[in-house]
Amino acid sequence: MTKSYWNSVLANRISRRRALAVTGGTALGSALLIACGSGGEDGGGLEVGSERAPGSVFFERDNYALKDTSKEAVPDGVHTTPIEDNSTEAFDPYLTVDPTSDRIRDHAYEYLMRANRGPGIQPGTPEYATMVGNLSDNLEIADDGLQFAFHLRPNVKFHDLPPVSGRVMDIEDWRLSLDRYLEIATNSPAFKADVDHVTTPDANTMIFHLKAPSASLLNRLADYNYAPTIMPKELAADPELAKTQMIGTNFYVLDNYQPSVTREWRRFDEYWDGKPFIARWHEPIIPEYANRYSQFIAQRIQSFTPEPREVFQVRSDAPQAILIGNMLNLTSAYRMFFGKQEIETVPWRDRRVRIAMQRAVDWPAVNKFAANYDKFQAEGIEVELVDGTHVPPDPLYHLNPWKGELGKDSENYIYDLAAVKQLLEAAGYPDGFDIDMLFNAGRTGQPPQATLDFWNTYTRYYDQTNGLVRVNPVHLTRQEFFDRVVYAADFKGIQMSQPSSGTDVDYLLFRNYSSKYHLTAFPDPELDRIIDAQREAFDPQERAEYIKDFQRYQAKEFYILPGQGRWNTFEFQWDWVRNVMYRGQNFEGRHKEWLIADMPNRDG
C-alpha cells in the first residue's frame, strides 16, 4: 500500500498559526495579518503587509503577502533582464558544464516537481518546504520510502518546433529522458547515488527506485544541480540535434540567440499551466558593471544589482526604482571544514581547539560589516541578518546561539579572546598553534577584490589573537582547490568559508559530516545516525526535530566551523512587473507575471 505524499502531509497538517508559533515567528519581521481558516494556495484573504511600489523598499521574503492580480493583467510586453556572464553555453540540457548553462536550460526544460510558492505560502512554514507537482501531477511515496511514483500530467505540450512540433508529452519521453540522464548527464552523479533505477510500469507512471529512503531527494526534485528535466524523445535520440535546438515544455521558447550578445525568448502559447501574459523575455549580455548601471538608469533593463556599498548612491540616482532585499538562501550554509591529513596529530583534533578557532572571530561583526548593516539601519532599513551556525537559516529548525537557543553550548559560538586562551591552554597548546587556511582563488587565481577584502576581514581576527591562532592563508586556483579540498579533503588545515550548494539541507549534512561520504575529517557513527534519520523523515516537522538535534550535537563538537552568516543582497527593479510571488527555485511560476501598461520600452 502506498502512502500518498499529499495524504501524509495533510494528516499532519499544521495550521498556519501553529507553524508560526513553532518557528517563533521570528526573523521574518514584517507585520502580517494571519488569515483565519485556510486561504492557502489560492491567495485570498491575506492582507498585503508591505508593498512593491515605486521608491519603496521591499523584501522578497514578503512576496507571499502580495495579492494575485491576474484579473487585471495586461497581456504582452517585453521583459528585459541583464545577464552578466561572459561564457559560451551549451543547449543540451544534460551536458551543461556550469550554472550559466543550467540557467539557460531551465528556461526551456522543466522538472517533475517544483517548490510550493504563491500568495500565502510563507517562508519557514511547512508549506513552503513542500514540493508540488509540475510535469508530474501526483507523487506517491511508498511506505518504506524506497519508491517514488510519479504520475504523468496529461496534455502537456512540447514547443511547436520541428521535429517535435507541439506534440503532447508521454511516458516514452519520460523513460528516454531518464535513461539518457542516468547515462550521461553532467549533473547526474549525485542523483545516481540516491536512485538505483527507474521503471515505467504503465503509460502514466514512472517509478524511481531508491537505494535508501530520502526526503532530501524529494526536496531536490527541482534542483538544477541534481534532478532531471524532461526532454522530448526526438532530442534524446539525437544528441546532435539536442545541442543546437532547445525543445522543452516550459513557457519560454528560444527565439533569438546571439552568443555573447543576447538571448531572447518568446512565450509558448500552449503552455500546460496557461498562456503567459508576457510576450517576450530579453536577456542581453552585459558583462561590464558601468554598462549595466547606465542601462538601468536609462530604463532599458528592469533590474540591476549594485555593489553593496553603492546601494544608496544608486537609490538617489533612481528614486523611482524599488529597492528589493533578496530572499535568504534557506537550504545552504557556509562552512569551513578541516582537512583529513594528519588528523590524528594535529591540534584541531581536539574539540577545544576547534571551538577556540570559532571564538577567535567576531562573526557577527564581520557579517554586519559585509552586509553594510549599520548604513542600512541608519536609512531605516532592517537588513535580515542571520549569523552562521551549522545549519542553514531556515526558521523551521534554526536555533540561534547568539540568542542562547542552544543552551549552555551557545557560548561556543561567541567571540571571546579570553575563552580562546583558556581553551587552548586546556587543550595543551598554551603557545597557540599554526594552521593553513586554503582559499579558492578562482579559475585564474584572481577572485574579485570584494571577495579578497572579505577574506581579509575574518583572517585579521586570527592575527589579533596575540599569536595564539596562527593562520597561514594559502591561495589556490580553482582546479587545485577542487583537487585537494572538494574532492578528497586531502589537505592539512582548514578551508575558507564557503557555501554548500543544493536545494536541500541534506546535501550539506551528508557531504560534510557523514562518514559515508569521503569528506569529513571526523567520522562519527552517532552523527551518522542523526543524519540518516533526518534524511528519512518525510514529515517536515519531524525532520526539523532531527536537524535541531544535529545542531545541538555540533554545538558541542564543532567538527566544522560555521563561518560567515547570511544576509540580504539588494537589487533594484523598476516597478513594471506584477505577480512575482509565484517564482519558484528556477523559472517556475513566472508565466503568471505581467507587465504594467505604461512602462517604457514595453515592446523592446
Partner 1 sequence: MLDYTIRRVALLVPTVIVGSVILFLALRLLPPKDFVEQHFIANSPDLVLSDPGLLDRQRKELGIYGPLHEQYFRWMSGFITGDWGKSLVSQRPISEELVHRIPVSFELSFIGLFFTWVISFPLGVIAAVRQDRPADYVLRTSAYALDALPSFVLGIFLLTFLAVNFRWAPPLTYSNLWDDPIRHAGIMLLPTLVIAVSSSGDLIRLTRTFLLEVLRQDYIRTARSKGLPEHTVLLRHAMRNIALPFITIIGFQLPLLLTSSVILENLFSLPGMGRYLVSAAASLDYPVVMTTTMFFGIVILVTQLITDLSYAWLDPRVSYAKGA
Partner 2 sequence: MTTSIEQSDLELWKDARPRTLIARIISGLITFGRRKPLGAFGGILLFIPIILSTFGPGLNLGIVTVPRLTQDSEDYTLGEGVLEGPSSSHIMGRDTLGRDYFARIVEGGRLSFIIGWGVFALSSVISTTLTIVSAYFIRSLDLILQRGIEIVGFLPELILLVAIFSIYGATPITLIVTLGLLRGFNSSRILRSLVIQVRAMPYIEAAHMIGATNVRVIARHILPQVGFLIIVTATNGLAQAVLVESGLAIIGFGLDPNYPTLGNLLNGSRQFLRTAPYLALFPGLVIFMLLLGSRLLGDALRDVLDPRQRGSGR
Chain positions contacting partner 2, by CB under 8 A: 288-290, 293, 306-307, 309-310, 313-314, 317, 365-366, 368-369, 374, 441-450, 452-453, 456-457, 460-461, 463-464, 475, 477
* Min separation Cβ 284 and partner 1, Å: 5
Judged by beta carbon distances under 5 to 8 A according to partner kind, the member of partner 1, partner 2, none in contact with residue 244 is: partner 1
Residues at the contact surface with partner 1, assessed by CB under 8 A:
80, 86-90, 92, 95, 97-98, 101, 186-190, 192, 243-244, 258-262, 282, 284-288, 290-291, 293-295, 297-298, 300-301, 317, 443-444, 478-479, 482-483, 486-487
3-state helix, strand, coil in the chain (%, to 5): 35, 20, 45
Q: Which is nearer to partner 2, 81 or 477 (CB)?
A: 477
| 3-state secondary structure at position 475 | strand
Residues 6+ apart with CB under 8 A from 16: 34, 35, 122, 125
Q: Please, what is the minimum distance in Å from the beta carbon of residue 455 to partner 2?
A: 9
CB of 453 to partner 2, least distance (A): 5
211 and 179 in contact (C-beta within 8 Å)?
A: no
Q: Kindly compute the dihedral angle of the four CA atoms of residues 221, 222, 227, 228, in this order, to the nearest 10 degrees.
A: 110
| Closest separation in Å from C-beta 379 to partner 2 | 14
Q: How far is the CB of 297 from partner 2 (least distance, A)?
A: 10
Beta carbon nearer to partner 2, 335 or 368: 368
- The interface partner of residue 2, options being partner 2, partner 1, none and the CB cut-off 5 to 8 Å by kind, is none
Task: Report which of 499, 526, 543, 517 is spatially closest to residue 216, judged by C-alpha positions.
Answer: 543
How far separated are the first and last CA of the chain, in Å rounded? 54
Q: Which amino acid is at 461?
A: Y
Check the CA dihedral 55-60-66-68 and report its sign: positive
**Amino acid residing at 352:** R
Q: Of 377 and 479, which CB lies nearer to partner 1 in the complex structure? A: 479
Q: Are 214 and 534 in contact (CB under 8 A)?
A: no
Q: What is the spatial distance between Cα 415 and Cα 155, in angstroms, rounded to a whole number?
A: 58
Q: Rank residues 290 and 418 by Cβ distance to partner 2 and give the closer one.
A: 290
- Looking at the Cβ atoms of 460 and 556, the one nearer to partner 2 is 460
Name 566's Cβ contacts closer than 8 Å, sequence gap at least 6.
Answer: 328, 329, 333, 334, 385, 386, 388, 392, 393
The CB-of-586 to partner 2 minimum distance in angstroms stands at 27
Q: Which is nearer to partner 1, 80 or 465 (CB)?
A: 80
Which CB atom, from 293 or from 510, has the smaller least distance to partner 2? 293
Q: How far is the CB of 474 from partner 1 (least distance, A)?
A: 17
What distance in Å separates the CA atoms of residue 48 and residue 31, rounded to the nearest whole number?
9
